């Protein structure tokens, strides 16, 4: 079997990470993992901007603004939507 593996390099790239304040016990670990992966692939922490938004509903709004700004090579969106007693999950997931 031939194994083809990409060599992912973040050298000289600028990334934006958007995360939610909601469910921060989960999301904060995701942000830490994203930063670690970025650095492990050659990225510099000064080329990684972190945007914190109230909840999952706001993530795509900020992601669009950042993507359209042309300042970033990639925009990473992180959040956790957990189904609970409210309709919030249905609004966000729908």
- Would you please indicate which residues are annotated as catalytic (active-site) residues? 88
- 61: nearest Cα among 74, 71, 75: 75
Could you give the CA distance from residue 13 to residue 8 in angstroms, rounded to a whole number? 11
Say how far apart CA 27 and CA 88 lie, in whole Å. Answer: 17
- Structural tokens at position 88: 């919030």
């Amino acid at each position: 079997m031939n194994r083809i593996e990409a060599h992912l390099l973040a050298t000289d790239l600028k990334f934006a990470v958007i995360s939610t304040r909601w469910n921060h016990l989960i999301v904060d670990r995701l942000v830490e993992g994203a930063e670690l992966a970025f650095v492990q692939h050659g990225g510099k922490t000064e080329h990684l901007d972190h945007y914190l938004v109230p909840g999952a509903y706001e993530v795509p709004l900020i992601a669009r603004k950042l993507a359209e700004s042309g300042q970033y090579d990639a925009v990473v969106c992180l959040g956790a939507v957990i189904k609970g007693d409210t309709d919030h999950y249905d609004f966000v997931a729908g």
